[in-house]
Amino acid sequence: MSEKHILTSPLLTEQGTVYANILSDITNAIFISGDRLVTTKLAQRYNTSINPIREALKQLQGEGFVHVAANSGARVAKFEASTTRNVFEILQLLDPYLMEWFVEEHSREQREDLFRILRKMEDIELVDQYAHVLYRHLDTEFHWLMYKDHYNKNAVELWRRNRLILHVMHGSLKLSARRIEQSISEHRALLDLLEKRDLAGTLAMLKAHITNSGRYWSRYQIR
């Protein structure tokens, strides 16, 4: 992926910081699982000194995105295959909880924003790795818009962190055309049900969406 294709995830709540810059590069597959994160090179990349880099790496290590070993320095974390299963099981619990509030409380303007994001997803031509990363960012933005204003900020933060883990794990992988088509259809169905404020239907569709996504990544993820 070329430098001009760097995206900023809507999940990065500390935009503009060294921490956010490093995590953005990880979620955009600039750095992938196992890559070394050399402090001097990172300081040059982000035009900063060594200390902010070290502090950011320490924070990322605490969150599980970076692994630091005594003899090999910092590297992008390598997640176990079971992590995919665990993350999707957590999301299967959190998404319906957060969505239930949104179904009842969302505005027409928020729904229009969701339609706007969906149209962008539909317009993507999957011609290179950047397009696949862009699709995942838009997919995340779609769900983030629905959940970010929920009153339970602890639940929102837990959802955010697990969604970021998926970005890190899948950053260098491509979605199949069939999964893209299925995913867009599921998003469209969610919007139709939201417009009707059909709580039971929305939650059932959301569960199917998460289950299908988890099944796809569990099957095709390469380590």
Residue 222 has a pLDDT of 44
Q: Check: CB of residue 91 under 8 Å from CB of residue 163.
A: yes
Predicted local confidence at residue 8, as pLDDT:
63
* Nearest to 177, CA basis, from 130, 139, 124, 219: 124
Q: Report pLDDT for 24.
A: 85
pLDDT for residue 2? 43
pLDDT tens-digit profile, the chain (223 residues): 444 445 566 777 665 689 988 988 888 778 888 899 999 999 999 999 999 999 999 999 988 889 988 777 899 988 777 777 888 889 999 999 999 999 999 999 999 999 999 999 999 887 777 788 888 889 999 999 999 999 999 999 999 988 888 878 776 677 888 889 999 999 999 999 999 999 999 999 999 999 888 888 777 554 4
Let me know if domain 3-32+34-76 sits in CATH 1.10.540.10. Answer: no
Residues of the chain with CATH 1.20.120.530: 81-220
Position 3 scores a pLDDT of 45
The DSSP result for 143-180, as a single string, is HHHHHTT-S-HHHHHHHHHHHHHHHHHHTT----HHHH
- Options 3.90.1640.30, 1.10.357.140, 1.20.120.530, 1.20.120.1810; which CATH number does 81-220 get? 1.20.120.530
CATH 1.10.10.10 domain locations along the chain = 3-32+34-76
Separation CA 94–CA 98 (nearest Å): 6
C-alpha–C-alpha distance, residues 83 and 86, integer Å: 5
If we measure between CA atoms, which residue out of 166, 161, 133, 159 comes closest to residue 59?
A: 161
The kind and range of the H/E element at 67 are strand 66-69
What DSSP character marks residue 29?
A: T
17, 59, 61, 123, 138 from 55: Cα distances, Å:
11, 6, 10, 39, 29
- Position 5 scores a pLDDT of 46
User: For residue 14, what are the contacts with CB-CB under 8 A and spacing of at least 6?
Assistant: 20
pLDDT at 4: 41
Taking the model in full, what pTM does it have? 0.82
